[in-house]
Amino acid sequence: MVEATAGKGASANLDAYYIKPNNLVDLFEESAVRYADKNLFGTKNKDTNQYEWVTYGAVAERVNNLRGALHKLGLSKGEKVGVIVSNCTEWFVCANATHGLGGIFVPMYEKELQKVWQYIISDASIKYLFVSNQNIYDIVMGFKKDIPSLKDVFVIFGEGEKSLAALEKMGKENPAPSYKPHWSETAFIIYTSGTTGDPKGVMLHHGNMTHNARECHDTFDEGDPEEVGLCILPWAHSFGLTADLHTYILGGWSLAFAESADKLLINFSEVKPTHMSAVPRVFNIIYDKIQQGVAADPVKKQFFDAACAEAVKNRGLSEKTKEFKDLDALVFSQIRAIFGGRLKHVVTGGAMMKPEIALFFADVGVPTYDGYGLSETTPVISNNSPKRGNKYGTVGKPFKDTRVVIDKSRVGEDSPDGEIVVYGAQVMQGYLNKPAVTKEAMMPDTWNGFPGVRTGDRGWIDEDGYLHITGRFKDEYKLENGKYVHPESIENEMKLLRYVSNAVVYGEGRLFNVALVVPDFEALKTDPKTSAWAQGSREETIANKECTDFISKEITEHLRKTFGGYEIPQRFLYITEDFTVDNGMMTQTMKLIRRNIMKKYGDQLIALYST
């Protein structure tokens, strides 16, 4: 086995490694005292079209009030409170009030299938549930009788006795002191997306959350107390929960809620963030828009190309050339202005950032830092950062108190990679109500007292200690010739093309791969090379053989730069409907639910082998 270890290791007594504040109640309360008058959350007011901010002190008062109400209602230590709402101040108020009574918080996505809500509420034995609006309240009340544990439901943005406002009023009149959980007590149950079955409830304790937040903070903190983030990642997933919410609170930083992906560029100009966490797709789209905008103006393109060429020459130089400084002021400053002009760091996860795109943004002065993790590890296992180094094409070095092992038992000792196994302070307690699945995922041994978990991902560690991801065991398959294919890597590469919105690669047991492609119809309409074919309906666009042949050729030529001939799809099926959460083809974290896609399009994909 190959391994990488960070930190001084651990001992059987883990208390020393979960440094105080080692629970989420203390973490917030200490920051609320230290930064009482500083802005914590910023929300766009739809009426005034302006961001309105609330301070740490104001949020703390609301947490205290709701904690008093939940105590009066009868919430006891170890009982669960759920929430169905997108990121907002009230989400956090509900979470910290729950933790302050020793309760366990179970977040759910607001845009989710009803059957998933029902499954989670039942599986987690949620006692009290907070929902965004009356519509969701009515839906939940329709199945409440089938879930004995669910005692009551409250509307966050509503009025009357079943509203959050009414509870806060009641709690103000009935204060209750906050309970300080031990680091080993469960704080959250984060449900994974269920790409292969029912969602699994990942149990994460207070120590998991605070340790991971501290590492995130320490690897990016440059001593500026006025850091401002723009939050687009959902807190119902551990990436946004740790990298944004808890990391920012620990540092006394401010966090504004992005309205939506569509309004992200507008929100950049309004918030002027210094930090952001995102999936690479966000920056791939922005990169593509920059390239398209430049290509449409020959004069702009001339200066842009000159700036990019000079930037390449200046990589690694502590003192930049005068030519670069001049072109930077003329060209790159305008690109930085897209992000509000102050963005210093972008943390990316969920997929790998394409190295040339990452290098472009670094040249511009908006560096991106790839990290790696999963729900079962709170989520961060490793990261690139200003303090630890930034090696493009990798997911960085392991966090402190973390051991990463490359297990080659599934692939043979001669393989350059193997399964990534992680031991450390961030590893979960297990899956709720799923002892058999927990046993399968967790390692039978420990590393100096810390538990270990199998990630299901393939990777290797280089001579500098950086971790490289090569694919997922779960999704890989063999072609008829015995060669292994990692479809996700090919799909991600295809989606870097402006003409491709989504893609699925298929070929298990077959002579070659084929692909299902959802074109980016807006890009096709606006691109001079394709616009003539794409002015009609979506159905007419994909029925145009010239158009689909052009896209197929672009995909093939692009993939040849990275993949072997056996990996490149040889035939393509084009469809008009994208994969979404609503149609059951994607999880909340934008992972493909392959079984559902194959259920709908499998026969058509298989038919490609007969044409």
For residue range 265-281, list pLDDT tens digits in order. 999 999 999 999 998 88
Q: What is the pLDDT of residue 351?
A: 82
Comparing CA positions, the residue from 524, 492, 496, 523 lying closest to residue 505 is 492
Q: Report the pLDDT value the prediction gives residue 531, as an integer from 0 to 100.
A: 92
Peptide bond into 379 cis (omega under 30): yes
Lowest mean pLDDT among 158-172, 441-455, 524-538, 581-595: 581-595
Q: What is the mean pLDDT of residues 386-393?
A: 93
Query: Is residue 42 within 8 Å of residue 87, measured between CB atoms?
Result: no
| Percent with pLDDT over 90 in the chain | 84
Residue 185: what pLDDT? 98
Dump pLDDT digits (tens) for 224-234: 888 999 999 99
Distance (Å, rounded) from C-alpha 584 to C-alpha 559? 28
With CA atoms as reference, report the closest residue to 604 among 522, 534, 523, 542: 542
pTM value is 0.90
Q: Give the model's pLDDT for residue 261.
A: 86
Q: Give Dmax over CA atoms of the chain in angstroms.
A: 73
CA distance 219 to 344: 14
* 375, 348 Cβ separation under 8 angstroms: no
Residue 12 pLDDT > 80: no
* pLDDT (mean) for 588-597: 86
3-class secondary-structure state, position 455: strand
How wide is the angle at C-alpha 490 spanned by C-alphas 484 and 492, nearest 5°? 140
In sequence order, the β-bridge partners of residue 397 are 383
What is the per-residue pLDDT for 9?
A: 42
Residue 587, pLDDT above cutoff 90? no
Strand arrangement, sheet containing 254-257: 50-55, 39-45, 254-257, 228-231, 275-278, 345-348, 368-373, 380-383, 397-398
The tens digit of pLDDT for each residue in 313-360 reads 999 999 999 999 999 999 999 999 999 999 999 999 988 888 889 999
Nearest partner of 366 among 252, 468, 283, judged by Cα: 283
If you search the block for the tokens 């979470």, which residue do you land on?
95
Residue 289 vs residue 52, higher pLDDT: 52
The answer to whether 349 and 279 have CB atoms below 8 angstroms apart is yes
Task: Share the mean pLDDT of the chain.
Answer: 94
Band of the pLDDT at 134, cuts 50, 70, 90? very high
Reduce the secondary structure of 125-194 to three states and give it as a string.
Answer: CEEEEEECCHHHHHHHHHHHHHCCCCCEEEECCCCCCCEHHHHHHHHHCCCCCCCCCCCCCEEEEEECCC
In 495-593, where does DSSP find H-type helix?
A: 521-526, 538-543, 545-559
Domains, the chain, ordered by start: 24-181 (3.40.50.12780), 477-610 (3.30.300.30)
Q: Using 50, 70 and 90 to split pLDDT, how confident is the model at 7?
A: very low
Average pLDDT of the segment spanning 497-508: 94
CB-CB contact of 516 with 310 (8 Å): no
Which pLDDT does position 586 carry in this prediction? 86
Alpha-helix residue ranges (DSSP H) falling in 45-84: 56-73
What is the per-residue pLDDT for 353?
86
Mean pLDDT of 149-160: 98
Cα separation, 29 vs 280, whole angstroms? 33
Contact predicate 586/580, CB 8 Å: yes
Residue 11 confidence class, pLDDT cut points 50, 70, 90 = very low
CA distances from 128 to 190, 191, 239, 320, 374 (A): 17, 17, 25, 58, 27
Residue 476 · residue 459 · CB < 8 Å: no
Specify the pLDDT at position 564: 92
Query: What number is the average pLDDT over the span 541-561?
Result: 97
**Predicted local distance difference test score (pLDDT) of residue 324:** 97
Q: Is the pLDDT of residue 293 over 90?
A: no
Give me the pLDDT at residue 131, please.
Answer: 98
Confidence category of residue 196, pLDDT binned at 50, 70, 90: low
Among 84-98, 475-489, 511-525, 529-543, the least confident range: 475-489
- 14, with CB counted inside 10 A (0-12, 13-18, 19+), is middle
Burial class of residue 262 in the structure, from the number of CB atoms within 10 Å of its CB (0-12 exposed, 13-18 middle, 19+ buried) = exposed
How many whole angstroms separate alpha carbon 515 and alpha carbon 503?
7
Amino acid letter, 143: F
Say yes or no to pLDDT of 106 above 60. Answer: yes
Q: What confidence tier does 484 reach under pLDDT thresholds 50, 70, 90? A: confident
